[in-house]
Structure 1
Amino acid sequence: MGKFDWFWKAMGATAERNDKKSKGIVDRSQELAKDFASYSDSDVVAAVRGAVTGAGIVDKPAFLAGLSAASTRTLGLTPFNVQGQAVLRLLEGDVIQMDTGEGKTLVGAMAATGFALTGKRVHLITVNNYLAARDAEWMRPLVEFFGLSVAAVTEASTRDERVAAYRSDVVYAPVTEIGFDHLRDNQITRRSQTVQAPADVALVDEADSVLIDEALVPLVLAGNVGAQQATGQITEAVSRLVTGTDYVIDAEGRNVSLTDDGARKVERTLGIESLYDAEHVGDTLVRVNLALHAQALLHRDVHYIVDEGKVSLVDASRGRVAELQRWPDGLQAAVEAKEGLSVSEGGRILDSITLQALMRRYPTVCGMTGTAVEATEQLRTFYGLHVSVIDRATETKRFDEADRIYATAAEKNRAIVDEIEHLNSTGQPVLVGTHDVAESEALADALGERGVTVNVLNAKNDAEEARIIAEAGDVGRVTVSTQMAGRGTDIRLGGADEAARDEVVGLGGLAVIGTARHRTSRLDNQLRGRAGRQGDPGLTLFFVSLEDDVVVAGGADSAVTARPGQDGRVADSRVQSYVEHCRRVTEGQLLEIHAQTWKYNKLLADHRDILDERRATLLDTPAAWEELSSRSPERAKQLDHLPEDVKVQAARDIMLYHLDTEWSEHLALMDDVRESIHLRAIARETPIDEYHRIAVREFKDLANRAVDKAVETFNEVTIDSAGAHLEAAGWKRPSATWTYMVSDNPLSGSGNSFISGVANMFR
């Protein structure tokens, strides 16, 4: 730690003091619990409400004792001491670390109830729709015991259901749904159209995943602009190209570019003189590059699946279908054309926001996860959050075996199949964490050939998630899953009803196998945490090859000499250290990417705040009419005969249309600037400084242009008792919108995603 030792020691001492204080409060609450046991329900409610004021919780022992009594009565769950301690740390605004199976769901509901009793609306943010719906229904009796309301927002929720849900005291919802609803609310032209209601607290489940791993993923709202241009001939031309000869892929697998030979081959197929002529460079070349990106970098059953004639994106961090999401800027059409499907209409970006910017809009942020300690620095740096480690209620009996390292991916994959077959022959349940859909299916096929029955959980069938996970701990079960991190369902030994628990305990509990290391140790530990739940026995084991993405990317500037055995296994401790080094390098790369991207995004986030204030002023006051009438008094005089509310709304529609359009153009422009900003370094300019200079200048111009164009429209458009006829004049808002996510992380691919011959990887 060096010169900052004093800082970390001070941080540790503060956390220790807080933990001791929390434990003392929990101990006193346990003494009160005996008295609360004899209270009536109304007495419990009165005692808890008496312990709370609008300023906060004034009697924490009584508050905890009452919550514990309510939980026992409504849910049949009596909190452990450590759960009470976790509730207190959440109410103080910390991120708590609790191991898998230690009861975070109940802790979150108790803390949310506490916040709500102080008059704060709480968004309890989950990582998927299933958990939002499940936890809201499961915890409903506890929340409603105190006269509070609780609801869930999921992808399937209608607009009316969302409006009602967001006005509840406690709202369970996936982070993406909250973000997309926020973006849609930024498109309204009447305050009555608002879906969301302001919230005071974001209580984030899987906090490190949401706040760190996916923090810089932009949530994007797009609107339709008509059908895409025909891409069939271009797709055919690109499909004939040969990698290495006609195009090259960069070392990170993120970018692809035509060679001179490839460009000439495409030109001959399309019958044009040059892709780089003025008439083609702005259209044909762009579509060729999109088709090439779709062909070379986006792989079926890794980045997307095809189901019922439609392309569905896969959320790489969770191995699930990303419903209602699509790629931007013609890339969706290119993938559809590649798969021989009908091409959907194109769109333009209307608005976007990163998860980090979204989370910073909440006055209070706190969270829960099984792996917070490794993210302590990022949580402190980017959010000002502290981490509290909550002890396990029962000591772990899990055994974490050292990695088994192999020289090649093929040798590693054979060893994985051998090990699973061996464990299955004993009856011990096995959970295998893979990195993508193709890998999970290839492994399942290889095991099937050896007579091993496999349950597969991946993006193609995540609706069956709860059933598959619930049975994963039963005798003889083999479950292969993409990205177990964030699945959120506990695996009980002996099956969902634990009927065979004793037998599975005797076999050693659940065995968890990782087919490759993740890019951060936290993701590995999230997978490990599926075994050894609440003091259960268990085994975890990771297989690694020197060809894995994490090793290749992290070891790009170093090398190691390996002497594998006959089966390809490398037992040298130096190689084990090398693999750890490679992973530390990728973690460092991710941290650097996060820091740099945060700098680029922060200015846009500041501009968004200004834009939001402007929108609120236009929506909630007569400012639009006052501004336009002052800029064009003659036109305003012509409209004197109209009712005041009609004139105000007409002016509001006009100004909001141009403000939103200019913001959309601003986002597109700054995206283009960012793509090329690295070229500034050639001119010895600092890219981030140049980006900020351009962004400030362009945003200032945006505001001026929006007002000037609004004045022009005000003078030209027909305005009558029905309002401003913008559509008739060609100023039309999109009739349909959709959402998608874009990754800023070039290392998002992990594990075996880009190993060639993926279908044969386990042969």
Structure 2
Amino acid sequence: MALLSRVGTRLKRLLSRPASVDLARYEALLPRIGELEPELEGLSDTELAERAAALRRLGDLRDDSSSARRDTKKARETDFDDMLVEVCALGREAARRALGERAFDVQLLGTMGLLTGHVVQMATGEGKTLAGALAAAGYALQGKRVHLISVNDYLARRDAQWMRPVYDALGVSVGWVEPSSTADERRDAYHREVCYGAVSEIGFDVLRDRLVTSVDELTQPEPQVAIVDEADSVLVDEARVPLVMAGSVDAGVADEEVARIVGRLREGLHYETDPDRRNAWLTAVGASVVEKALGGIDLYGESGADRLAAVNAALHAHALLTRDVDYLVRDGKVQLVNASRGRVAELQRWPDGLQAAVEAKEQLPPSEHGEILDSITVQALIARYPQVAGMTGTAVAVAEQLREFYKLEVAVIPPNTPNIRDDRPHRVFATPRHKLKAIVEEIREVHETGRPILVGTQDVAESEELAEKLRKVGLECVVLNARNDAEEASVIAQAGAHGAITVSTQMAGRGTDIRLGGADGADAERVAELGGLHVIGTARYPSSRLDDQLRGRAGRQGDPGSSVFFASLGDELVLAHAPDIPDGIPSDPDTGEITDAAAHRQINHAQRVAEGVDLEIHRNTWRYTRLIEHQRSELLKYRDEILRTDKATALLRELEPDRCAELAESVGERTLDRVCREIVLFHLDQLWADHLAFLTEVRETIHLRALAKETPLDEFHRTAIPAFRKIREELEKRSAKTLVEADVTAEGIDLARAGVRRPTSTWTYLVQDNPFDSDAEQALKKVRSTLRKKRS
């Protein structure tokens, strides 16, 4: 009977969570962890630290070759299970002493899931931060260096400082990196056993290390373990975002005349866009207007070739990028908004031509632009780690992508207390106007009861429009969006207070729980009796995960709460991904509300299509970047040899033996080695930068090259591979020339006079979507079709 019960439980879990790892193995260890609790409570702080140190002496218990008694799979699993039990028991006791928090069993399940290399899904408020810290300590006690990767600098610093007492109790060293960290501070943090950092900051340091000319300048040791917080956001939403190291050149050049001309164009007459609003192109009428305004040039002939790129960038900025949605203008600068987080994307920008076009559109002075020295996608950054694990509140929805791109499985951790949140049916309206009116009425009715309300909006503009509507009917609210994201922790902490109305953009990765009764929980019981936090979504997001992240702000740790989403058939999601709305769907003549199931199906379909488009973009982008990453890996291996050995000197002795002999006599062998290394590394880095620029050009014209030949991917490979093979030959030629021509003294080489000068100013930018998708090809075909019609 007991066996049937266990089978039934396992089958039920499998059916309800189709992407989930079976937790039975971990659950079986919980009683053993509990049995150790009284024993560990009786230890002094010193004895507890010594008990943790004993784990270090066991080494990596998963190494098949470490001991003869681990020759069998069963023996290895037994050893590893023993380690899991000890780590969890020690971690629970350390947290109790250091933080006054005894880890729940579900937090220990999350810890074990992380230690076995899974992405654990834990609901909001269930204690992911502590589970992640205990897992990081567990890896560290096995002798592995851990990077705990966060979505932003604030959370990295907060979590490192918050969890430090737990690490101290276990004898594990911890540090963190942030933009203000000096090189020495970064080096110290990365050499701690556990280092917290934002994904962008860790990525930048990887890029900086790829440009050093001395081993002493390196900040990061070899990567070993990554634990990724908000794993779905980092590993999926940002997987295509390249972190770019660019060197300053000068101010960007925006074609202000083109910006003025394009700003007067009208959609439908002068230009068209595709349904996803990812591409825009001139119609025959639009091309004629632009050509005439630019002095009668032929945009698509030789006379207009130098203006065509500026026209395309200006059209993209004018037609596809919206102020207060895609970007803000703040402090006289264009600042990108990260759509998946609702925040300003710090240190990010578009490629130089598009960045300059947006600045010209907003009549702002152009910012500096630069030469790309190197870049790395988040996906490639994570691929550097031999072991990866992650945690988030919503992972099952992207289980397919986690498996396909990272070979990671999802472990769904049950809540400590059953979720009693009331998720009400979505409400659908005929138009956005009807929807907005209903949302204001919903807020008014719920606010009268005293319940706190959290409203999730799609973007900055919508959040401010709704706040203004609420004020007009006498309802005061607090707005949290990219304009005031520095105040987010305090705003969110008070969102559960009695009578509070909070209007926010995307809630993913905010990092602060909404406690009933406000930050101090003073009115918690009163608010709970009223029904808890009420969450309202003003539209369905392009991903069901984002819906779930907003919904999950209510009902934390068994609290009461409710949620409802509003939608309309005129929402951006529906118009972009399911525009063919069936005729005759009835709506209430007064309110515009639609109860017909067909409308709900239409919106669900639009969301699924949007998710499919994003997956295909991710997949298609990776097909191209995989070759670049392979080439980068090969080049970095060679660069590391140059950096750490006398390979550069040997190379140049072979190429220029007389010059090397002369310098060895005049400046000494040590100086010669340093000079040769600096010369070869400079030219190697410059040639890689040139190669990246060439690949960017290939990428932007790949459909033109491929329309009449092979597939775009085949054509890209056909072009990129021979170009890469030429780098070594060109490196030797340039290095030898510099060695012969440069002035070399006992102090070394005069870099400036030799033209071997490295730029210092750096930044990152966000590449807009995927230049290889089918829409780009379709847009190109339409442009060519338009030209044929125009000239016929």
Q: Structure 2 length as normaliser, TM-score? A: 0.89
User: Aligned match of 1:99 in 115, 123, 145?
Assistant: 123
State the match for 2:4 in structure 1: none
State the match for 1:33 in structure 2: 37
State the match for 2:523 in structure 1: 500
* Contact in 1 for aligned 2:699/2:771 (Cα 8 Å): no
Which amino acid counterpart does residue 622 of structure 1 have in structure 2? D
Matched, 1:44 2:68: no
User: Aligned match of 2:346 in 323, 327, 332?
Assistant: 323
Q: Shift of residue 572 of structure 1?
A: 0.7
Provide the C-alpha distance between the structure 2 equivalents of 1:230 and 1:51, rounded to a whole number of angstroms: 60
Matched, 1:63 2:87: yes
Q: Which moved more, 1:41-50 or 1:269-278?
A: 269-278
Q: Which moved more, 1:592-601 or 1:122-131?
A: 592-601
Please give the residue correspondences for 1:409-558 in structure 2 after superposition, counting only pairs within 5 Å.
Answer: 409-556=432-579
User: Aligned match of 1:342 in 357, 365, 368?
Assistant: 365
Cα deviation, 1:48-72, whole Å, max 9, x if unaligned, reads 3334521135443333222111110
What's the secondary structure of 1:524's corresponding residue? helix
What's the secondary structure of 1:348's corresponding residue? strand
Cα deviation, 1:241-261, whole Å, max 9, x if unaligned, reads 333333333322122233344
Which amino acid counterpart does residue 542 of structure 2 have in structure 1? R
Which amino acid counterpart does residue 725 of structure 1 have in structure 2? D
User: Aligned match of 2:722 in 680, 683, 697?
Assistant: 697
State the match for 1:76 in structure 2: 100
Provide the C-alpha distance between the structure 1 equivalents of 2:287 and 2:747, rounded to a whole number of angstroms: 55
Please give the residue correspondences for 1:192-591 in structure 2 after superposition, counting only pairs within 5 Å.
Answer: 192-229=216-253, 231-271=255-295, 273-278=297-302, 280-282=304-306, 284-556=307-579, 559=582, 561-566=584-589, 567-591=591-615
Q: Which moved more, 1:460-469 or 1:62-71?
A: 62-71
User: Aligned match of 1:741 in 766, 781, 790?
Assistant: 766
Q: Which moved more, 1:714-723 or 1:519-528?
A: 714-723
What's the secondary structure of 2:764's corresponding residue? strand
Provide the C-alpha distance between the structure 1 equivalents of 2:646 and 2:579, rounded to a whole number of angstroms: 60
Q: Shift of residue 355 of structure 1?
A: 0.7
Cα deviation, 1:97-125, whole Å, max 9, x if unaligned, reads 11111111110111111111111111111
Cα deviation, 1:523-545, whole Å, max 9, x if unaligned, reads 21111111100000111111111
State the match for 2:7 in structure 1: none
* Contact in 2 for aligned 1:512/1:530 (Cα 8 Å): yes
Identity over the aligned pairs, expressed in percent? 50
RMSD over aligned Cα atoms: 2.4
State the match for 1:723 in structure 2: 748
State the match for 1:682 in structure 2: 707
Distance 1:286 1:60, change over 3 A: closer
Q: Shift of residue 392 of structure 1?
A: 0.9
Which amino acid counterpart does residue 334 of structure 2 have in structure 1? V
What's the secondary structure of 2:277's corresponding residue? coil
Q: Shift of residue 673 of structure 1?
A: 2.1
Q: Shift of residue 269 of structure 1?
A: 4.0
Provide the C-alpha distance between the structure 2 equivalents of 1:376 and 1:538, rounded to a whole number of angstroms: 27
Distance 1:225 1:280, change over 3 A: farther
Q: Shift of residue 410 of structure 1?
A: 1.9
State the match for 1:54 in structure 2: 59
Which amino acid counterpart does residue 184 of structure 1 have in structure 2? R
Distance 1:88 1:321, change over 3 A: same
Cα deviation, 1:624-667, whole Å, max 9, x if unaligned, reads 11112201222222312222222122222222222112212222
Q: Shift of residue 404 of structure 1?
A: 0.7
Provide the C-alpha distance between the structure 2 equivalents of 1:46 and 1:139, rounded to a whole number of angstroms: 19
Which amino acid counterpart does residue 267 of structure 2 have in structure 1? T
Distance 1:514 1:560, change over 3 A: farther
User: Aligned match of 1:628 in 645, 652, 658?
Assistant: 652
Provide the C-alpha distance between the structure 2 equivalents of 1:259 and 1:15, rounded to a whole number of angstroms: 47
* Contact in 2 for aligned 1:26/1:64 (Cα 8 Å): no
Cα deviation, 1:185-218, whole Å, max 9, x if unaligned, reads 2122222222223331100111111112221221
Provide the C-alpha distance between the structure 2 equivalents of 1:365 and 1:670, rounded to a whole number of angstroms: 30
Distance 1:698 1:149, change over 3 A: same
Which amino acid counterpart does residue 730 of structure 1 have in structure 2? G
Cα deviation, 1:687-723, whole Å, max 9, x if unaligned, reads 2222222222221123322232222222222222232
Provide the C-alpha distance between the structure 2 equivalents of 1:129 and 1:326, rounded to a whole number of angstroms: 18
Provide the C-alpha distance between the structure 1 equivalents of 2:539 and 2:212, rounded to a whole number of angstroms: 46
What's the secondary structure of 1:397's corresponding residue? coil
Task: Tell me the number of residue pairs that the alignment of Structure 1 and Structure 2 aligns.
Answer: 740
Which amino acid counterpart does residue 659 of structure 1 have in structure 2? L
Which amino acid counterpart does residue 368 of structure 2 have in structure 1? E
What's the secondary structure of 1:728's corresponding residue? coil
What's the secondary structure of 2:726's corresponding residue? helix
State the match for 1:136 in structure 2: 160
State the match for 1:4 in structure 2: none
Distance 1:568 1:706, change over 3 A: farther
Provide the C-alpha distance between the structure 1 equivalents of 2:713 and 2:254, rounded to a whole number of angstroms: 38
Distance 1:272 1:181, change over 3 A: farther
Distance 1:133 1:16, change over 3 A: closer
User: Aligned match of 1:667 in 692, 705, 713?
Assistant: 692
Unaligned runs of 5+ in 1: 1-7, 749-763
* Contact in 2 for aligned 1:510/1:539 (Cα 8 Å): yes
* Contact in 1 for aligned 2:223/2:384 (Cα 8 Å): no
State the match for 2:777 in structure 1: none
What's the secondary structure of 2:509's corresponding residue? coil
Distance 1:560 1:375, change over 3 A: farther
Which amino acid counterpart does residue 650 of structure 2 have in structure 1? E
State the match for 1:761 in structure 2: none
* Contact in 1 for aligned 2:495/2:501 (Cα 8 Å): yes
Q: Structure 1 length as normaliser, TM-score? A: 0.92
